[in-house]
Amino acid sequence: MGLLDGKVALVAGIANKRSIAWGIARAFDREGAELILPYQIPRFKENLAKLLPELARPPLTVQLDVTDDESLASLQKAVAERYDAVHVLVHSVAHAKPEDMSARFLETSREGYQFAQDVSAYSLTALTRALYSQLKAAGRASVITMTHQGSVRVMPGYNVMGVAKAALEATVRYLAFDLGREGIRVNAISAGPIKTLAGSGVKGISTALHATLERAPIPENITTEDIGNAAVFLASSWSERITGTVLYVDSGSHIVG
């Protein structure tokens, strides 16, 4: 018996085998969940197709652009045609323009700021709203998003993404308040530095990885498997009284000054 037997889980944000979202999907599959795996662009669909043989059960795959309302409506229709309820929604989606990540924060363009907020923060609200009926039908559902310590502390090179993650964490709290009486809990996982496609775009990622080994209470870098296991906890009945919170999975780095 797995912790997620009988549950349907949508995991958004898989780009390749190094994605945090893929680590979560594998952990959910291990624990018995039936998966819905959106992909953003054809290249990611090809990457995803290569990974699917690792899963115990074939997932539903569907294209999704979280910035496009028609795409969100298409996702909702595809999910509703197959499932009456969705028990878990994982939002592992974030992006910013490269020039806004590499320049001084002062130089962030209006367009770049709005883009980072739309993709990385507002999309949690949009995706949750698109699947609201299925989440409510689950009786007790869990929404999980991915954040970073750059939301509360200045992390050189994180820039506009840090501001977007701060907005994302505020979104978690407001959604948790809105949806708690309907049995839907909303939480975030704050992951330590990890080598992913998104992480590679952050200036100083190698320094951050080395700093964890030098300064963290647990001198070990985290893996996508670590994040997957934490997500299983938040998706399972073991966390039914936890909502509106940020769970740090960073070897304790966030407590070190």
Distance CA 119, CA 204 (A): 22
Residues 74, 83 contacting (CB under 8 angstroms): no
Please compute, for residue 57, the number of CA atoms within 13 A of its CA located in the half-sphere on the CB side: 19
Q: Is 5 exposed, middle or buried (0-12, 13-18, 19+ CB in 10 A)?
A: exposed
77 is catalytic: no
Which token pair is 198? Answer: 């998104």
Catalytic site residue from 165, 174, 195, 248 = 165
Cβ–Cβ < 8 Å for 128, 182: no
Q: How many CA atoms lie within 13 A of 161 on its CB side?
A: 25
* 248 is an active site residue: no
Which of 158, 174, 195, 203 does the annotation list as catalytic? 158
Axis crossing angle, helix 69-82 with helix 123-130, rounded to the nearest 10: 40
**Environment class of 73 (CB within 10 Å of its CB; exposed 0-12, middle 13-18, buried 19+):** exposed
Active site positions, annotated: 158, 165
